[in-house]
Structure 1
Amino acid sequence: MVPGIISWHIWKYYNQMVWDSKPYSIKGAIKDIKTHIHNWVSSNANNKFIKFDSQLHEEGLMPNIRKSGTIKAVKWSITSDATLCLNVDASFSQTFSAGGAIIRDRGGQILDSFCFPTSSTSAIHAEIEALLKSIEAATSKGLKGFEVQTDCQDIHNAYQGKTTIPGFMNSKILKIKELCNINNLKLTHTVREANRPAHLLAKEGRRSTSFCRYDEHTLPPQVLQACSEDRRGRPFFRDTG
């Protein structure tokens, strides 16, 4: 497991250098690797794993074993009885807003993926725009009965009627509901760690001036890598507090 963690972080830093023009940081890579190993040990530890290890402690890898188990391993999966899943995410700042989405089957096979710029005025607005445009793009190809996953809890709550989103954005939530009802879609909430391909595609949308569609031959390498890890069932770690 540990060699796989190290290799993945090296690959991640390589992609950040190539695609995001970020400088390589050996200290940063080592810190990320240590954190990942620490979380992996914590998520697999139980109340019986109490033995103190001086080497793990010295390297900062000795986990704090808590009865509640705050470190949780999560991975991508289709949570309903649907055979296909549309994952959606948005990227927003004061200078840009964009969305990205990917459609896969239960085995993680990529059926469609795309990214696009949006004209959004806030982060929640960008998430709503990304969700609406992605559902429209998927259903325009005749796809029905699939699961839609968003990592935006506010949107999911508004969709379920638990909260209200004021102003013009609420009309877009109603449009999303209409499309879901017509096409027999199920909107679910997922955690960010299980939504990485859509997140990476949304970042790609920052560079786009129009709607861009990809297949497995044209997807950016970092998105393909994330999809490959999801397909293999690679877990990621989430601190549930």
Structure 2
Amino acid sequence: MPLVLSVLFVIKLRCTLYASDIIKPQNFKGCCKVFPYFGISNISALIERRDRIVTLLKPDPDWIKLNTYGSYNGKVAGCGGILRNHFGKVIYAFAGPVSGNYAFLAELHGLIYGISICIKLGFNRVWIEVDAMLILHYLNSSKLFNAENFYLIRQLKQDLSNINFKITHIFHEGNGCADALAKLGCNYLDYCEFHEDEIPMVVKGLARLDRAGLPYIRHH
């Protein structure tokens, strides 16, 4: 009997917390069987709200697209990036190591290196996509200050002043090619640059899926 009372008390407490909006439907992931105890009836609608379709958009004909990513695997960091034209065809890619122990530092290095490649190849209209929202915040605000990465952010802004660009956020699920390159970069001793026919096989496969418009599912 004490065990039954304890279970009933826990259920009542959780119902109270749910009714007070302290815990939400998202907290019940994988526990659909308990939904009725909390008065949740429209399960399919809740699941639908957690899912989002993510696809890689192609740039306009006179633009190229640069996707970059930074990775840290707990031991080493790396970055990578990929350039594609308006057909979604790969033009160039890169991957390399970063001295540091967190992903945001790798993100900065990857974006700076990617922009340097755009300048080297003569691309002046560049649509940049990153999944690090913090980079967008620093670029779009003159008031934000990051002492630790001050010089890298300043260099990034200076490099961007040499090209026409727009920069937007992309969810991680849609940035698979740059993610794969960054993971490879963690294992490299130096930066490697790839022409279209030299791109690592795993990245080439992902790029083909992106070009075909394959949608990715983002679970909230």
Category of TM-score, reference length = shorter chain: 0.7 to 0.9
* Aligned alpha-carbon RMSD (Å): 2.2
Unaligned 5+ segments in structure 2 are 1-42
Equivalence for 2:172: 192
Question: Residue 109 of structure 1 is aligned with which of 83, 89, 93?
Answer: 89
User: Normalised by the size of structure 2, how large is the TM-score?
Assistant: 0.73
Amino acid aligned to 2:78: A
Amino acid aligned to 2:151: S
Rounded Cα–Cα distance in structure 1 between residues aligned with 2:182 and 2:81: 7
Question: Residue 125 of structure 1 is aligned with which of 105, 123, 127?
Answer: 105
Q: CA deviation at 1:138?
A: 2.3
Rounded Cα–Cα distance in structure 2 between residues aligned with 1:67 and 1:208: 40
Rounded Cα–Cα distance in structure 2 between residues aligned with 1:160 and 1:89: 19
Question: Residue 210 of structure 1 is aligned with which of 181, 184, 190?
Answer: 190
Question: Residue 201 of structure 2 is aligned with which of 204, 221, 227?
Answer: 221
Q: Within the alignment, does 1:172 sit opposite 2:161 as a pair? A: no
Rounded Cα–Cα distance in structure 2 between residues aligned with 1:118 and 1:194: 23
1:97–1:78 distance in 2 versus 1, CA, 3 Å: same
Instruction: Select the structure of larger CA radius of gyration.
Output: 2
User: Normalised by the size of structure 1, how large is the TM-score?
Assistant: 0.67
Runs of 4+ deviating beyond 6 Å: none
**Does the 8 Å CA contact 2:58/2:87 hold for their aligned counterparts?**
no
Higher strand proportion (structure 1 or 2)? 2
Question: Residue 124 of structure 2 is aligned with which of 135, 139, 144?
Answer: 144
Unaligned 5+ segments in structure 1 are 1-62
- Structure 2 counterparts to residues 1-241 of structure 1, below 5 A: 64-66=44-46, 69-78=49-58, 83-161=63-141, 164-240=144-220
Q: Aligned with 1:90: secondary structure?
A: strand
Q: CA deviation at 1:187?
A: 1.8
1:141–1:81 distance in 2 versus 1, CA, 3 Å: closer
**Does the 8 Å CA contact 1:82/1:146 hold for their aligned counterparts?**
no
Kindly tell me the number of residue pairs found equivalent between the two proteins.
Answer: 178
Q: CA deviation at 1:82?
A: 5.6
Q: CA deviation at 1:162?
A: 7.6
User: Which has the higher relative contact order, 1 or 2, with Cα contacts under 8 A spaced 6 or more apart?
Assistant: 2
Amino acid aligned to 1:222: V
Amino acid aligned to 1:196: G
| Percent of residue pairs identical | 23
Amino acid aligned to 2:110: A
